[in-house]
Structure 1
Amino acid sequence: MTIHVLPLQDQAAPEGICFGCGSAHPSGLHIKSHWDADGVHVVCKHTPAPEFTGWPDLVYGGFIAMLVDCHSNWTAMAYHYRAEGREPGTLPRIDCVTGQLNLTYRKPTPMGVELTLKAWVEGEVGRKSRIICEVWAGDVLTVIGDSVFVRVSTEKLRAEAQAVI
């Protein structure tokens, strides 16, 4: 018997419109993040479409950055929900934003291969959390993200963005 668990994105933000991870974006990637069976890592699998080619036969590095950004953010939020003993999607909603995004491109990432993103919180889960995210093309580690995600109030963030306009 297989138990199907909704992806974090569909549980916590089914109305999300982010191009990379928004479940409701009409033409987005709709990446899906899940807790791994090990209970430590949050994983995502994605095969880049041909339009995300950089060099011939290689995935565009900026596209990889987007995958790491979205998946790492969901990893941060998943860890926050867990730290509070709550399921994703319970209220009040938990939101995080990218504070710092760092990637090390270790090897070329080939097109036509399903990528596996494997992420976790390194250290404490706090207002600012450090996320490590590995990108694997088959059994080859191609990229490592080492980033910081910040827990925010959506209302405050929206107000600050409107003040800029």
Structure 2
Amino acid sequence: MDSSYCFVCGPKNPKSLGFKVFFENGIAKAYYSFAPEYQGWKEVIHGGLIATVLDEIMAYAVGQIGPALTTHLNVTFRSVLHPNEKVLITGWIEEQTRRKAKTRAEMQRLSDNKLIASAEGVSLFVKP
């Protein structure tokens, strides 16, 4: 599946967040910091964007197996994230069957290792 125009990671999308993912031991990872343009309340990054990048990192984890679409996403917010704070986002597969994968993700602030948010998801494998 072509993701070159993806809102989160697409290199051909001029409004993409520019999210860059790498892998370590099968775990999808990305470092990121949100610009002030992505705040909701003053000095607070919008939770919808945090949920978006957690979904994205889980999609990358599942993408190692094959193309899939998110069917369920549950996000728990733990702490406020401010603009320009650098975070590490990680995503991995918890369980997998022939048809679907259960995934988890976390976003952790690098300056104090505080957990910003965590997510659980289910992705359904699709034919390319």
Tell me whether the two structures share a fold, i.e. TM-score over 0.5.
yes
Deviation at 1:115, TM superposition (A): 1.4
Structure 1 or 2, whichever has the larger Rg, is 1
Q: How many residues align?
A: 126
| Structure showing greater relative contact order (alpha-carbon pairs closer than 8 Å, 6 or more residues apart) | 2
RMSD: 1.7
Q: 1:142 aligns with which of 100, 103, 116?
A: 116
Q: Would you say 1:109 and 2:81 are equivalent positions?
A: yes
CA distance in 2 between counterparts of 1:25 and 1:72 reads 21
Residue pairs, 1:1-165, within 5 angstroms: 13=2, 16-36=4-24, 39-78=25-64, 80=65, 94-124=66-96, 126-138=98-110, 139-154=113-128
1:73-94 CA-to-partner distances (Å, cap 9, x unmatched) read 111112x1xxxxxxxxxxxxx3
Which has the larger strand fraction? Answer: 2
The answer for unaligned runs of 5 or more in structure 2 is none
- Deviating above 6 A after TM superposition, structure 1's stretches of 4 or more consecutive aligned residues are none
CA distance in 1 between counterparts of 2:36 and 2:87 reads 14
The structure-2 alpha-carbon separation of the partners of 1:108 and 1:22, relative to structure 1 and needing over 3 Å to count, comes to same
Identity %, equivalent residues: 24
The one-letter code of the counterpart of 1:62 is G
